[in-house]
């Protein structure tokens, strides 16, 4: 089992998904399992950021700039939602050297 994500982890959308913006949410279809997921609240902003490889700490910093949230709550919730996306193959975790950030 892979180790949990950290602030130093690098993530990016997976090739095994398709997504679309529907109103204020993002709807995602994971192609392998044929499961749908939706993101609301801060989710669409996170989804926009992970369209290219990005370090988790950079996502956290952007969320803290854009939303009123306590830093520790932001970090905990962000790591949880990103880990769920990786586990469901919506996001890929990339090696830290991939890409040069």
For position 86, which CATH number holds?
Answer: 3.90.930.60
Q: How far apart are CA 76 and CA 63, in angstroms?
A: 12
Residue 1 has pLDDT above 70, yes or no: no
Q: Is residue 5 part of a domain?
A: no
Residue 26, pLDDT > 90, answer yes
Q: What is the pLDDT of residue 56?
A: 97
The residues that bridge with 25 in the sheet, in sequence order, are 22
Which residues constitute the domain of residue 53? 10-94
Asked whether residue 99 is assigned to any structural domain, the reply reads no
Asked if the structure places residue 100 within a domain, the reply is no
Confidence at residue 3, expressed as pLDDT on a 0 to 100 scale: 80
pLDDT at 36 over 70: yes
pTM of the shown model: 0.88
The total domain count for the chain is 1
Angle in degrees, CA 61, 70, 13, rounded to 5: 40
- Is 75 a member of any domain? yes
pLDDT tens per residue, range 50-88:
999 999 999 999 999 999 999 999 999 999 999 999 999
């Amino acid at each position: 089992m892979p180790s949990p994500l950290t602030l130093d982890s690098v993530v990016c959308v997976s090739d095994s998904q398709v997504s679309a913006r529907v109103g204020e949410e993002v709807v995602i279809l994971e192609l392998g399992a044929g499961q749908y997921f939706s993101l609301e609240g801060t989710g669409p902003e996170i989804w926009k950021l992970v369209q290219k490889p990005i370090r988790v700490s950079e996502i956290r910093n952007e969320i803290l700039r854009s939303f009123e949230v306590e830093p520790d709550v932001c970090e905990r919730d962000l790591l949880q939602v990103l880990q769920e996306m990786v586990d469901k193959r919506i996001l890929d975790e990339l090696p830290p050297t991939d890409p040069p950030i």
